[in-house]
Chains A and B, each alone.
Chain A
Amino acid sequence: MKLALKDLLRLATIGSVDDGKSTLIGRLLVDTRQLFDDQLDAVVAASEKRGVGDLDLSFVTDGLRAEREQGITIDVAYRYASTPTRKFIIADCPGHVQYTRNMATGASTADLALVVLDVAHGLKEQTRRHLCIAALLGVHNLIVAVNKLDEAKWSQTAFQGVVDELETIARELGFASMTIIPISALLGDNVVEPSANTPWYDGPTVIEALEESDAGTWTRTGHGARLPIQWVLRQPGGGRTYAGMVNGDSFRPGDVVTLLPANIKTAITAIHSGVKGRAEAGAGLSVDVKLADETDAGRGDMLASEPLPTVTNEFVATICWFGEKPLVAGQRLRLKHTTKVTPVRVNTIDGVVDIGTLKVDAGRQLATNEIGLATLRTADPLVVDDYGDNRVTGSFVLIDEVTNATVAAGMIGRATFL
């Protein structure tokens, strides 16, 4: 048997506590036979021990002791599923507000969000908040599982009410695609098996929607190829090659590129992954490239094709603040952008986003888990794109100078819906 090679889809689950996210993932894994017998036995045993019935599917992903004791998801659990054509990396994200940083961690690498909500409650505050974070983080494609239809007597009216609510917020946040599916994660209806209880629904099941989705790239094309240099490799005979991961468009040997921030124009003469030569290097591939001219390029520099990124040391950014103490103007931190680390100072806080209304309110500080706009000034110049154009060269993290903890996620520019 020769196993087919597959493509890769990264997705994050989002939704409010108790709406059934972990149960849905458990159901997906069980019904696509991704769980081994001994893992399933362990879930049955754990369910029995905690007195929650025969099989609590959320125990499939809620693996930490505290999570099982409290019945909540604290941190992202990564799960892996496969169909004959596609490998899925599933980040099962927590719903509680104090774990928003973990939800952002899961969504930052996702191509698609799988949203779970309870048909009886519709769009809760926390789900709204998560949809806003997903949109900010550039997750433009949604599959929405409207859960617990079994408890709502399979009511089409109840389902339609939630659909209307979702369509409003999807318009506000500018999602590119949204598939809404009535399900019961508990019983498995419309998850992997089509349901006989929803004759009024003729769309895909959750697994079908996941397989068919054409979400699947981090960055938009047409905005230039980028190679942040990670490492310089010395070649036998004295030459050097520049190693890193490509993002944005593809590079090909012969391409004219600019080394930034030095602003030196040169050309790529060869692309390799190890000893293997490549005719093309697209986003997500680690390569090393040879340049036509001698340069003093090193870690923290970037090779780019047109349209070129911007070189700047002062910019407006959208910030998700995770620190315990509020972020205020004048604060000094460390910033990591692509392969560059530099000191940074907060010039001004320019506004705080009200997640309920998506309005930007005036404000002088960002409290824990708040999202806002700020103007930052870095010690060294950065080579940036707008986050809406490139998720890699448009993103950064802020780091506490004393503890080294990651205290914020930042995106260059301001999302259009803010």
Chain B
Amino acid sequence: MTTTPLRLPRTADHLDLLESHAIFILREVVAECERPVLLFSGGKDSAVLLHLAAKAFAPQLLPFPIMHIDTGQNFPEVLKYRDKVAKDVGARLIVAKVQDSIDQGKVADPGPMGSRNRLQTVTLLDAITDNGFDAAFGGARRDEDKARAKERILSFRDAFGQWDPRQQRPELWQLYQGKVNPGEHLRAFPLSDWTELDIWQYIERENMSLPEIYFAHEREVVLRDNMWLAVGPFVEPREGEVVERRVVRFRTVGDANCTGAVDSTADTLAAIIDEIAIANVSERGATRADDRFSETAMEDRKREGYF
């Protein structure tokens, strides 16, 4: 029974295989779990995830709702995109607001300019419990961060929403098993094996739309923590900061007050792919203040139940 594995005929490239794997995961989780939900922020990764989900179940509608954890500090272009895409796909959109968690006294109000990044976890876990969801699809990729690189594709969360990196379920072959007891839930990450470049190549191949802020445009920015922050309702220039008009784009989309823009003239998908292919700085390193708290900022937030 000694084997010489044979190379398959080249009928598929890496994007076909990544797409097929993601669709397989989406279908397995829907088949095994009672009440899944897809977490949708309007960013490029969740846009790809929603696109794949629509493909996996076409011509039928999505067999689950989509949910946005709304910090109230979003870029308006992203909210517009969120509502349009949800309507186009015919998905039921649930919006869970961090403001509601603040009003209910569950979390402290960080003030109009303060970061609500960490508060999202409370809103997310409450929304999962209140809706009785037992699985939540997320667009996280393992190349984003060293803690994410360690996480299983189906990631078990206990009744408190916590991730325990030392007690992960073995995940063999493609035998994804999604059973959980009441109160527990799963996070499912169909894009685990995709890199930033794969995402952009796929968006181009599928001719997908994205929020305008991913493409180069002119806007008023200030330099803070070595990032260009867009001046607006959630970022006011501090003393000593100079407001400049620059041609920039966003490599990731998070809250307006912790997501930095990068200098770029890439205004088409092809130009963005060229830019990513030779980038020297990672997307989160370039643009996310929320990862800069400590060496293990992502692991610490994930343990608490973050995305």
Contacts and interface: CB of A to CB of B under 8 A. Distances in A.
A, B co-complexed: yes
Interface of A: 1, 3, 5-8, 36-39, 42, 45-46, 49, 61, 63-66, 68, 74-80, 82, 87, 89, 101-102, 104-105, 108-109, 111, 138, 140-141, 174, 176, 214-217, 219-221, 230-231, 233-236, 243-245, 250, 273-275, 280, 282-286, 299, 322, 336-337, 339, 341, 386, 388, 391-392, 395-397, 399, 403-406, 409, 415-416
Nearest to B147: A63
Contacts of B30: 231
A87 to B, nearest CB: 5
Given A74-B165, A406-B171, A220 B147 contact: no
A65 B296 CA distance: 7
Interface stretch (B64-72, B83-91, B104-112, B276-284): B276-284
B60 A5 contact: no
A253 B169 CA distance: 39
B57 interface: yes
Interface stretch (B21-29, B38-46, B208-216, B237-245): B21-29
Given A65-B299, A231-B27, A397 B6 contact: no
Interface of B: 1-21, 23-24, 27-28, 30-32, 55-60, 142-143, 145-147, 149-150, 165-166, 168-175, 177, 179-181, 192-193, 195, 197-198, 201, 273-274, 277, 279-282, 285-286, 295-296, 299-300
Contacts of A284: 8, 12, 17, 20-21
29 contacts: A1-B273, A3-B277, A7-B10, A8-B14, A36-B279, A38-B281, A38-B285, A63-B145, A63-B149, A64-B150, A64-B165, A65-B299, A75-B166, A76-B150, A79-B149, A138-B3, A140-B3, A176-B2, A176-B3, A216-B7, A217-B7, A233-B59, A245-B24, A275-B58, A285-B17, A286-B21, A392-B174, A399-B177, A404-B177
Nearest to A79: B149
A79 B142 CA distance: 7
B170 A176 contact: no
Contact of B5 (A42, A141, A174): A141
A46 B296 CA distance: 10
A37 to B, nearest CB: 5
Contacts of A215: 5
A404 B165 contact: no
A63 B150 contact: yes
Contact of A217 (B8, B60, B170): B8
A78 B149 contact: yes
